[in-house]
Copies of this chain bind each other. A is one copy, B any other.
Amino acid sequence: MMKRVTNVLLIALAIVGAMIPASADALPSWNDGKAKQSIVDFVAEVTKEGAPDFVQPGERIAVFDNDGTLWAEQPLYFQFPFAIDRVKALAAQHPEWNQKEPFASLIKGDLEGALAGGEHSLMEIVVATHAGLTTEEFERVVKDWLATAKHPKTGRLLTEMSYQPMVELLAYLRANGFKTYIVSGGGIEFVRAFAERVYGIPPEQVIGSSGKLSFELRDGKPVLVKLPAIDFIDDKADKPVAIQKFIGRRPIAAFGNSDGDLQMLQWTAAGSGARFCLYVHHTDADREWAYDRRSTIGRLDQGLDEATQRGWTIVDMKSDWKNIFAPERK
């Protein structure tokens, strides 16, 4: 009994530690400046009991886009190299792919030819390579792939291409009673395969695009099989729709980097009480990439205008972030 009480007290002390409002030191990868200050001020506003903008912990919902907001997205959303590697791995089982675009080009190593069909080709590749597996098999395949997949430019593991300042921000918000969600255009099961390890976000707090699933018995054992059909694309105006469906309450803080996140930020901003919206602006061609209004990946055009006009926080990666990527794992 004594041991249990001691354990409980130790856990309680750990919780007390976690509950003492994290200071700005919780964001060591952020340079002092307007962006960092706006975050710290907002958190102080909504967590100070009795203050006019105090928000109950249960209502402290923060939503984050993933590609380009929590980890890099250049030169191509990381789910696509995964899908392309799957095409190569599965080619022997699909002789028909040798005659069929975009697969034929991919198998020959001609990425440009394969993507000539634009977004439609990409979708076709994703649907064809993600279907057929059970959800558990798919999780295993993604985890195995991520264990070794490296970035073509930096040579680092893709999971180490997460942004250290954002990882710190997630932890800082959680230490202040926020529930952090990912609301990604990426595949829900792809993102779930690493979100807990990389961001500390459990599967039930990851929302994303999804394919249809089918409940089946295989050898008398129930499985969920991924079907070759799109269920939901979690982008633009459908991000607030997904937030309503999965969370059922309006976030008080939203973080994105592209026009695809704009409606999510608008929806968040339109609630009553204190609200926080932030755009990550890719301005650092040396340490990362510099792109915005004319990029095909992660275009930020209308969103940049609206953020400026409404006074939302715009992170200038070059000047606001001391470090960009997570430290390398040894």
Contacts and interface: CB of A to CB of B under 8 A. Distances in A.
Interface string A1-26: 00010011101110110011000000
Contacts of A267: 215, 222, 224
A270 B221 contact: yes
B188 A248 contact: yes
Contacts of A248: 188-189, 192, 203-204, 206
A215 B237 contact: yes
A237 B12 CA distance: 41
A244 B13 CA distance: 34
Interface string A148-179: 00000000000000000000000000000001
A68 B249 CA distance: 26
Contacts of A4: 20
Interface string A89-128: 0000000000000000000000000000000000000000
Nearest to A13: B12
Interface in A31-71: 49, 58, 61
Given A202-B58, A222-B266, A263-B222, A244 B213 contact: yes
Task: Categorize the interface residue count of chain A.
Answer: 35 or more
Task: Name the residue in A7, A58, A237, A245 with the highest tally of chain B Cβ atoms < 10 Å from its Cβ.
Answer: A245
Interface in A175-203: 179, 188-189, 192, 202-203
Nearest to A181: B204
A241 B266 contact: no
B20 A16 contact: no
6 contacts: A135-B244, A204-B247, A204-B249, A206-B248, A213-B244, A214-B241
Interface of A: 4, 7-9, 11-13, 15-16, 19-20, 49, 58, 61, 135, 179, 188-189, 192, 202-204, 206, 210, 213-215, 221-222, 224, 231, 237-238, 240-241, 244-249, 263, 266-267, 270
